[in-house]
């Protein structure tokens, strides 16, 4: 079978879990995905089956849209809810005008340092494996592109934003950097990838519907 499937990854599933689930239905066809989504996040994960795995690289170049909630005044070592609390700071008085001004500074080509808890490799070893041993290694900042950031909601302790960005953007890092720009610290408590290119929640296939989708696609 050769197909591109916009799957909807559930919270607490790894991207590989979704690939493995699809493999169980289409073996011996190959299955790959076009862009990892963190386990704590949910949303669009593009699966490529059979000969369509050759299109993974081009699909990874598509613009992505996320909705993220940032908790302010506290952070974790992973910059998401799966980590250990590592620091706490007061949150200054915030206004919509101030927040939107700071968000605008992150639009365009920006430098971003990959987090230690990531799948990037140092001498062939994933950084997250080193981080779990308590090790921190230097990481080179790289250029990523943010096309738009919209403030959806905010309270004294949380921001909800919508981000449209290019390949390689770590939303966890963006959330932490936004908190720093606001004079505090922060981490993501929720993340949803709502769009990749023209693939959205409206045309995504839920994991529990894989067999039904395969029946109609056959």
| pLDDT tens string 141-180 | 999 999 999 999 999 999 999 999 999 999 999 999 999 9
Q: Do residues 93 and 166 both lie within one domain? A: yes
Question: How far apart are the two ends of the chain, measured CA to CA in Å?
Answer: 9
The average confidence (pLDDT) of the chain is: 94
At 41-52, the pLDDT tens digits run 999 999 999 999
- What per-residue confidence (pLDDT) applies to 76? 95
Q: Do residues 163 and 101 both lie within one domain? A: yes
Share above pLDDT 90 across residues of the chain, in percent, rounded to a whole number? 82
Q: In this model, does residue 205 exceed pLDDT 70?
A: yes
- What per-residue confidence (pLDDT) applies to 217? 72
- What per-residue confidence (pLDDT) applies to 136? 86
Q: Do residues 10 and 86 both lie within one domain? A: no
Q: In this model, does residue 7 exceed pLDDT 90?
A: yes
**Which positions ≥6 away from 88 have C-beta within 8 Å?**
73, 74, 75, 185
Supply the CATH number for residue 49's domain: 3.30.2350.10
Q: Which helix (H) or strand (E) holds 211?
A: helix 210-217
Q: Distance between CA 189 and CA 39 in Å, rounded?
A: 12
Q: In this model, does residue 4 exceed pLDDT 90?
A: yes
Q: Which domain, by its residues, includes 125?
A: 64-195
pTM over 0.85: yes
Q: Do residues 95 and 179 both lie within one domain? A: yes
Q: Do residues 96 and 188 both lie within one domain? A: yes
Instruction: Specify the long-range contacts of residues 207-211, CB closer than 8 Å, at least 24 apart.
Output: 207/7, 207/8, 207/9, 207/10, 207/13, 207/18, 207/21, 210/7, 210/21, 210/22, 210/25, 211/25
More confident residue, 196 or 125: 196
Annotated catalytic residue, options 38, 77, 80, 177:
38
Provide mean pLDDT across the span 112-133.
84
- What per-residue confidence (pLDDT) applies to 218? 61
Q: In this model, does residue 194 exceed pLDDT 90?
A: yes
Beta-bridge partners for 9: 43
At 58-116, the pLDDT tens digits run 999 999 999 999 999 999 999 999 999 989 999 999 999 999 999 999 999 999 998 88
Q: Do residues 140 and 166 both lie within one domain? A: yes
Q: Distance between CA 193 and CA 67 in Å, rounded?
A: 7
- What per-residue confidence (pLDDT) applies to 124? 84
Listing DSSP states for 4-20 in one string gives EEEEEEPTT--HHHHHH
Q: Is 2 a catalytic residue?
A: no
């Amino acid at each position: 079978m050769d197909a591109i499937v916009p799957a909807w990854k559930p919270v607490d599933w790894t991207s590989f879990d979704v690939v493995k689930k699809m493999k169980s239905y289409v073996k011996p066809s190959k299955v790959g995905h076009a862009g990892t989504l963190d386990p704590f996040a949910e949303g669009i994960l593009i699966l490529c089956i059979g000969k369509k795995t050759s299109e993974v690289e081009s699909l990874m170049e598509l613009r992505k849209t996320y909705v993220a909630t940032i908790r302010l005044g506290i952070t974790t070592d992973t910059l998401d809810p799966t980590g250990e609390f590592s620091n706490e700071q007061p949150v200054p008085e915030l206004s919509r005008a101030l927040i939107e001004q700071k968000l605008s500074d992150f639009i365009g080509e920006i430098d971003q340092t990959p987090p230690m808890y990531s799948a990037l490799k140092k001498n062939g070893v994933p950084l997250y494996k080193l981080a779990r041993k308590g090790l921190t290694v230097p990481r080179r900042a790289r250029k990523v592109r943010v096309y738009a950031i919209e403030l959806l909601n905010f309270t004294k302790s949380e921001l909800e934003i919508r981000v449209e960005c290019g390949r390689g953007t770590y939303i966890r890092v963006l959330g932490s950097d936004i908190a720093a720009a606001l004079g505090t610290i922060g981490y993501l408590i929720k993340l949803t990838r709502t769009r990749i290119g023209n693939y959205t929640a409206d045309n995504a296939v839920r994991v529990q519907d894989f067999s039904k989708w395969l029946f109609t696609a056959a």
